[in-house]
Amino acid sequence: MSIQKPKGTQDLLPGDVEKWQYLENKARDLCRRFNYKEIRTPIFEHTELFARGVGETTDIVEKEMYTFQDKGDRSITLRPEGTAGVVRAYVENKLYGEPDVSKLYYVGPMFRYEQPQAGRYRQFHQFGIEAFGSTEPSIDAEVIALGYTFYKEIGLQNVTVEINSVGTPSVRTAYRTELQAFFAPVKDKLCKDCQFRYDRNPMRILDCKVDQKYGEGAPSILDHLDDECNTHFGAVQDHLTAMEIPFTINPRLVRGLDYYTHTAFEYKSAGIGSIDTIGAGGRYNGLVEQIGGGDQPGVGLGLGLERILLVLANQGVEVPKPEPIDVYLIALGEPAEKEVIKLLYQLRQQGIAAEKDYLGRKMKAQMKSADRYNAKYVAILGDDELARGEITLKKMETGDQLTVTLADLAANAAKTLFE
């Protein structure tokens, strides 16, 4: 039997890849405008990094990691998300020593052992940003704005932004006790995961897809915020309002881990079956320290690119098709063929996308090939023309023909073809 791709992975073929390049280019351009610089960290890291940086009690670390022993008997994990690696690199390379806030972005594959379905894969791609070194609410708002603008600029409709404040660890101590008291009467009815969460991380029960009904009427973290938290949360909202970014407050949007502080947010858009979250992020003032760095604040987001493409397709949003080629060269006869090979190379070196036939096909088949490539020009070179040092170009859009000299094409193809 032939070998097939592993479950939960995808081949991105020409025709699809252009959509990916489009999203990636948009992400890069947006980051240029918001002054985020690209960082590239390893695809695999020491398992310990994710245990600490993502959190022992998360689904990711409990069930979803691709972990293996390498030949040197180290425990290695394929990165399940981007933040932990970026934080490690920030600490290891002492970026905190730089005078400005570190504003970083990444685009790349992540790996999680999940049950594959539409919008959920084992290898998927995230665009993410992280900003380290500032506790200012304006940067929380900037991060939220960047994600929102990304969705908007690629043409995604009906994206909603939900925000919440998860307070600080000390604020959450009282909240956790109250939550446990709230869930105590139904503890036995909760799903198995949530029965664990009840003791270890009760805030995550609010996040559970199975036990949502039991969370109704649960106490709100917003009633527990202290002055510092309220001020921060209020300022984030003010900045979003000033930027005209629509948002709603969802007090049940939680991250139960100690290093999350203040702002938590999610982007939602209907259209991938039961899944509606297309991106998420928040502030994590305790994370750098958790990973062995100093007391440096951070805030970031991660957006799933597969989910974006699914929603774009569902909404019928046009994404770019493959670029057409500029010139398809056809030679009639042996001497012309030699000249065409030379000319092809000359054109390509001048920045022109050029192609020829490599299958010894008849002229008609070559014309069809030019059509498939959506060629702007077909250039036909016969013996007579070769003798005159000329070539005939057919502009495919209009059918117009023009004859130019080979010397002109070789000297300045762009001018000859497109002016």
Detail the DSSP E strand segments found in 227-346: 248-249, 263-272, 275-283, 298-304, 327-331
Listed in sequence order, the residues at least 6 apart from 34 whose beta carbon sits closer than 8 Å to its beta carbon are 103, 129, 142, 146
Task: Rule CB under 6 A: say whether 53 interacts with ligand ATP.
Answer: no
- Whether 271 contacts 307, CB under 8 Å: no
Which of positions 393-412 make contact with ligand ATP (CB under 6 A)?
none
Q: Minimum Å distance from CB 87 to ligand ATP?
A: 15
Give min distance, CB of 121 to ligand ATP, in A: 4
Among 16, 18, 24, 114, binds ligand ATP (CB under 6 A): 114
Find the helix or strand (DSSP H, E) in which 18 lies: helix 17-34
CB 67, CB 75: distance < 8 Å: yes
* 129 sits near ligand ATP (criterion: CB under 6 A): no
Rounded to whole angstroms, the Cα distance separating 286 from 67 reads 25
Residue 271's φ and ψ, nearest 5 degrees, are 130, 5
| DSSP string over 281-305 | EEE-TTHHHHTT--S--EEEEEEEH
Only one residue has tokens 């290898």, namely 123
Segment contacting ligand ATP by CB under 6 A, of 86-94, 96-104, 271-279, 314-322:
271-279
Tokens for 380, please give them: 């036909």
Q: Residue with CB nearest ligand ATP?
A: 304
- Shortest Å, Cβ 321 to ligand ATP: 24
- 3-class DSSP state of 392: strand
- Work out whether 300 is an interface residue with ligand ATP (CB under 6 A): no
Among residues 106, 124, 198, 377, the one that binds ligand ATP under rule CB under 6 A: 124
For the CB of residue 305, give the shortest distance to ligand ATP in the complex, in Å. Answer: 8
377 class by beta-carbon count within 10 Å (0-12 exposed, 13-18 middle, 19+ buried): buried
What is the full DSSP assignment across 372-383? HTT-SEEEEE-H
417 near ligand ATP, judged by CB under 6 A: no
Q: Give the residue with the Cβ less far from ligand ATP, 55 or 304.
A: 304
Number of residues in contact with ligand ATP under rule CB under 6 A: 18
For position 275 contacting ligand ATP by CB under 6 A, the verdict is: yes
Nearest-approach distance from CB 307 to ligand ATP, in angstroms: 4
Question: What's the min distance (Å) between Cβ of 98 and ligand ATP?
Answer: 27
Question: Does the footprint of ligand ATP cover residue 381 (CB under 6 A)?
Answer: no
x/- letters, 55..94, toward ligand ATP (CB under 6 A) = --------------------------x-------------
Q: How far is the CB of 169 from ligand ATP (least distance, A)?
A: 20
Q: What residues between 306 and 335 interact with ligand ATP by CB under 6 A?
A: 306-307
Regarding 156 and contact with ligand ATP (CB under 6 A), the answer is no
How near is the Cβ of 111 to ligand ATP at its closest, in Å? 9
Question: Torsions phi, psi of 398, nearest 5?
Answer: -110, -20
Q: Shortest Cβ distance from residue 388 to ligand ATP (Å)?
A: 59
347 vs 344: CA distance, rounded Å = 5
Least separation in angstroms between residue 391's CB and ligand ATP is 50
- Strands (DSSP E) found in 332-417: 354-356, 377-381, 390-395, 401-405
According to DSSP, the residues that pair with 102 across neighbouring strands are 132
| CA-to-CA dists, residue 295 to 284, 286, 289, 405, angstroms | 11, 7, 5, 69
Choices 144-152, 270-278, 334-342, 405-413; region in contact with ligand ATP by CB under 6 A: 270-278
**Is position 280 an interface residue for ligand ATP (rule: CB under 6 A)?**
yes
Interacting residues with ligand ATP (CB under 6 A): 81, 112, 114, 119-121, 124, 126, 275, 277-280, 302-304, 306-307
